Amino acid sequence: MKTTAVLVASASLLLFGCGSSDDGGDGSAQTELADLLVENESLFDEECVRGRTGELSDDDAQFLVDNIDAADTEGFGEDLEAWVETLFDCVPGAVQE
């Protein structure tokens, strides 16, 4: 389960970007991000991931898409790190510490 948590956190890191003035839009970046997360981690509940990525601004979602291979969240803001943690809710049966 720790491996899953690391994968989830790594993939999720990309979603927060460095702040954005764009609070939503056409959703293409959010959709692309959700597709990547679900494709790369089969333990995710797809509906949950799509709901969470829909909460992101276009800029934040695009930042995460562009950095989907990030190994950690170094340099991410507190809001982005908090969002990443919410992805654990999208892993059915995951134990939260």
pLDDT for residue 61 is more than 50 = yes
With 60 as the cut, is the pLDDT of residue 69 above it? yes
Token digits of residue 13:
């890191």
Q: Which residue has the tokens 């969470």?
A: 52
Query: Which pLDDT value is given to residue 82?
Result: 84
Tens digit of each residue's pLDDT (9 = 90 or more) over 7-24 = 444 544 444 333 333 444
**What integer pLDDT is reported at residue 96 of this predicted model?**
57
What pLDDT sits at residue 83?
A: 82
Q: Is the pLDDT of residue 71 over 70?
A: yes
Q: Are 50 and 34 in contact (CB under 8 A)?
A: yes
Region of 22 on the Ramachandran plot (φ > 0 left; ψ -120 to 50 alpha; else beta): beta
